[in-house]
Amino acid sequence: MEYIIAWFFRVTNIRLIIIMCMVYLIFPLYLLPKIINTGSVGALDLLFWYNHDILYQMLTNYGEAIRNRYIIGLFTADLAYPFYYGTLLVMIFALVFKKLSIPFSRKLILIPYTVVLFDLTENSLLIFLLSTYPSQHLEIANLAGYITAIKWGASGVIATFIIYIVIFGIRSRKAIGHKP
């Protein structure tokens, strides 16, 4: 793991992050809406939370064509997407740690991969539920809703943590700069 962390610190720079941010925009602005086009019903994984009643109502409203397209989207673009945004966030963490000399454990840069894990788990559950429809698996449907909520909650915690370490790093720099 130390080798992977060292690699992120070695390759990460502002230019790479800017390029990755521009490429990132392809996912939410083009690929995901094109491949996972759920029409006016909306995508399950964009909800903050849902239960089995909401899930199965949405699956019914999708119709067979949209359900099939959703499965393809989850197996393609939405499989690559979590890895991409997870790596981008890890690189942002590495850059912040590197530029602001953050005194925390360097292992913390890997925290964004927890959201990737929840996103991939959510996608796996949704693929199962979409592909077995109209059979209903109420416990799995409820679990998918909880995993979705955990994914969004973890995303919020990570965003808050990035803001915190930036503020902490800037304040630490100023405090060091103002010592007599």
pLDDT tens figures, 97-152: 999 988 889 999 999 999 999 999 999 999 999 999 999 999 999 999 999 999 99
Write out pLDDT tens, residues 48-59.
999 999 999 999
DSSP 109-173: GGTHHHHHHHHHHHHHHHHHHHHHTTS--HHHHHHHHHHHHHHHHHHHHHHHHHHHHHHHHHHHH
Q: Determine the Cα–Cα distance for residues 142 and 172; give it in Å rounded to an integer.
A: 44
Q: Is 106 exposed, middle or buried (0-12, 13-18, 19+ CB in 10 A)?
A: middle
